[in-house]
Amino acid sequence: MKSTKRVRREPAEAKSLILGAAEKLMLDEGYGAVSVRAVAKVAGLSSALVHYYFETTDDLLVMLYRRTSDRDMEYLKDALSADDPLMALWSYQTDAARTALGVEFLALANHRKVIRTEISRHAQRARRLQAKTLARFLDAAGAGVKGCSPEGTSMLLTSVSRNLIMETAVGISLGHADARAYIIQELGKLRSQR
């Protein structure tokens, strides 16, 4: 009879292992694959231990979203404080690896109100930060008065980048190069006015 020795982990390490397994499942197989049992299997832990730290799957998903959105917020702050914040923001927006998890959470939000609330809170905060930076460029170019608001510009950049990523994932590319070139051209115009 083979005996298995239990490994005692610190709570923070166990939670991180569980959340890492949940993130991997979500990225590899989609949000529908994330269950306590599946997460436990990927993490190499018992389902009971996962339940010990996360009473429900919703608790696990909320904590995963908070962890990933906190990490995402740090990336955003780095982009907005870069030497060239407009291009750094565009690079941040078009990072397919970063966006893939966000798209899964958006799909999950259709089924879980608690995730919808978390996404709304995070997205509003991120949009405000982006708008603050964009406002400086739009005001310098005089575009804020006659054109789209900083918040609207942030929303447009997010929408275009997310659509480019989602379409690329399913093999659609028609118009992508033109859309990217147009956005980069317009961001270049804003950069040159400052």
**pLDDT digits over 35-79, tens only?**
999 999 999 999 999 999 999 999 999 999 999 999 999 999 999
Each residue's pLDDT tens digit, 108-139? 999 999 999 999 999 999 999 999 999 998 88
CA dist list (Å): 86 to 12, 138, 192? 36, 11, 11
Q: Just give the CATH number of 56-193.
A: 1.10.357
Query: Where along the chain do its domains lie?
Result: 8-55, 56-193
Q: pTM of the prediction?
A: 0.85
What is the C-alpha separation between 134 and 90, in angstroms, rounded? 12
* Amino acid at residue number 136: R
On whether the CB atoms of residues 156 and 148 are closer than 8 A, the answer is: yes
- 């939670």: which residue's tokens? 15
* Amino acid at residue number 129: L
CATH architecture of structural domain 8-55: Orthogonal Bundle (1.10)
Query: What are residue 11's phi and psi, to 5 degrees?
Result: -55, -45
Closest CA to 39 of 6, 5, 63: 63
